[in-house]
Structures are given as C-alpha cells and as structure tokens.
Amino acid sequence: MAEKRVLGIISIVLGGIGLLLSWVPIINNLAFLLGVVGLILGIIAIVVNRKNKKTLSIIGIVLGILTWAVVLKTQDTYSKAVDHAEKSVSKSLESSSKYSENSDTDTSSSSSVSSTDSNIKDWTQADYDALPKGDIMNNGAGGANMEDVIKTYGKPMSSTDSSVNNMSTRTSIWTNTNGGLTANVTLSFMKQDDGSYLLYSALSSGLK
C-alpha cells in the first residue's frame, strides 16, 4: 500500500533544517529541538504506516538522529575550545601578575639604591678648593681620581671625551642648585694607562 507521506515529509524537513543548523554555535540548540521533533514525527509516521511503505519516515528518523549527533559533537568541540581559551587567559593574567610583582621588587631595589645615594653631597666652594689637581706635564699625576669624585658628588650632568696627540681627556660638568642659585663645577681629567682618570684642571661658578 502507498505510504502516508505528510508526517514523513515534515519529519524530513525538520531533520534537514536541524542538520543544517547543527554546526552553528548557540543556534544548534534550536537545531537539537528540531531534530527531536523530526525524530518523534518520523516514529509516529512509522506507526501510522505500519502496513505501508516507510521510506520517508525512516529518512526523517535518520536525519533527526544525525542532527543530535552533530549538535552534541559540535558543542563538545566548542566547549573544549572555550576551556582552552579560559586557561590561556588565566595563564596570561598569572604572567602579568608575576611581572607586576617583579616590577614592584625592582622598584624596591631602585628605592634602596636611591637611599644610598643620599650620601652624595652638593658642591661647596671649600670642596672645590680642596680638590687636588695633577701635573698636566706628568699625565695628571697627583690629581683627584674621577671615580672618587663621582662617589662623593654623584655622576656629572654631562661628560665629553677628546683626544689630542695620543692624550685622552674627559671634561665633566656637575650642576647643583643652592637657594635657587645654580652652581657649576667643570673638571677635566686625563686618562691613565690603567683606564682611570686623574684631575688636572678645574673651573667653577656660583659656589658658596
């Protein structure tokens, strides 16, 4: 006998639409429902056509089952992808937190270094007058060592190196402000064979 096709056709249509939508995230929840309805209608169509052909009914049932399977697989895949993304974000946040902690540690270290710099003093006229100046004809011998000057007064604002007739020199300028007045100290050092610098000439302005 001929198959009663109405339920079978509806089952196929719903199953087909559900299968098409089953690949789309979020929307595949609707596809799952369409698959369920299509499967139920397919089963009803088989019961209605128990003495007739059941081709359309079987196709509707198969499409409903395929829709279920694809939806479940797709959601599992997307769920794993979301979990992976969350773990990646968590690791990034942890790395940022560790970096921030390290930065705080570095800042603390810098602060401790700065605190030792509190021993550095400003220039005074007495300090300037007390600087030993070396003999320029004897490669600056007897002059103050530049490293000792830096330990006492800090690094200069600027330094300029020059070389004349195989004689290397370095001219450095220190600046400090006392009572709103700017004082400058310009020292010229001569490079020694061991790489150190000895003072051989000095100029100043604004010192008290």
Q: Worst-scoring range by mean pLDDT, 68-82, 98-112, 142-156?
A: 98-112
Q: In the block, which residue shows the tokens 């003072």? A: 199
The reported pLDDT for the residue numbered 182 is 79
Which of 69, 3, 60, 70 is CA-nearest to residue 37? 60
pLDDT (mean) for 115-131:
76
3-state secondary structure of 157: coil
User: How many residues belong to the chain?
Assistant: 208
pLDDT (mean) for 131-156:
89
pTM: 0.43
